Amino acid sequence: MLELRLHGRGGQGTVVAAKILADALCSEGKFVQAFPEYGVERRGAPVKAFLRVKDDVVYERSKIYEPDHIVVLDPTLIGFVGIADGLKKGGWIIVNTTRKVEELGFDSSFRVATVAAKEIALKYHLGSESSPIVNTAILGGVVKILKLCSLKSLLDAVREGVPRKKEENVKAAEESYKKTKV
């Protein structure tokens, strides 16, 4: 079973990102479970979303305390919430940032990668400079680094899963996938 935790802020599409990944993986025959940290969501407040992926039925129904990998949609959360809490050794932390990996200050027992999701999102007019919607723009990189599913499955799920600007979101996810080096 693969377990992912996503960190973002209310309004960035963190929960939708988990759902899009779930849709993409389900379309490839996986059993998935995607859920938010249930609470009272407010714009700008730290939010978490979770994703479990398995070849057969997922029975565990708690939050994810020891994820295999972590996705950070908002880099300002680093140092503010426990991003790497419980992360398994060797797990990936994939961050939306243009900063260098070394500058992020994570323990060397983790693998860290960056995706310039904010820049990609703004290029396709997803959100605004102060409040970019980066979920689809980080997913391309996430899928490529973690080898979760095919690009086509992801793009189909993006098209289906975003409420508006469908083609812009698809392009953002595609560009993110192509620009991310593994």
Partner 1 sequence: MRKVLMGNHALSYGAKVSRAQVISAYPITPQTEVVELLSKMCASGELKAKFIKVESEHSAMAALIGASSVGVRTFTATSAQGLAHMHEMLHWAAGARTPVVMGNINRAFAPPWSVWTEQNDSLSQRDTGWMQIYAQNNQEVLDSVIQAYKVAESLDLPAMVILAAFVLSHTSETVEIPGQEKVDEFLPPYERKYKIDPDEPHAFGGLTDPDNYFELRYKIQKAMEEALEKWEEAGEEFESIFGRKYGLLETYKVSDAKSLIVSSSTIASTARNAVDRLREKGEKVGLLRIRVFRPFPAEKIRGILSSVGKAIVIDRNIGFGASGIFYQEIKAAMYNEEQKPPIFGVVTGLGGRDVSSKDIIEIYQDVIRREEPKSDIIWKGLKL
Look up tokens 């400079």; give the residue: 129
Rule CB under 8 A: choose which of 2, 10, 26, 165 binds partner 1.
26
Look up tokens 């899009």; give the residue: 20
Minimum Å gap between C-beta 85 and partner 1 is 14
**Binding of partner 1 by 60 (CB under 8 A):** yes
**CA 120/CA 96 separation, integer angstroms:** 10
The half-sphere exposure of 1 on its side-chain side, counting CA atoms within 13 A, is 15
Residue span 96-135 as binding mask against partner 1, x where in contact by CB under 8 A, dash where not: ----------------------------------------
**CA 112/CA 168 separation, integer angstroms:** 27
**CA 32/CA 50 separation, integer angstroms:** 10
Contact region with partner 1 (CB under 8 A), list: 53-61, 100-108, 109-117, 148-156: 53-61
Contact region with partner 1 (CB under 8 A), list: 33-41, 87-95, 108-116, 168-176: 33-41
Residue span 62-91 as binding mask against partner 1, x where in contact by CB under 8 A, dash where not: xx-x--------------------------
Strands (E), the chain: 2-9, 31-36, 46-54, 69-72, 92-96, 111-115
**Residues making contact with partner 1 (CB under 8 A):** 18-19, 22-23, 26, 30-36, 38, 57-63, 65
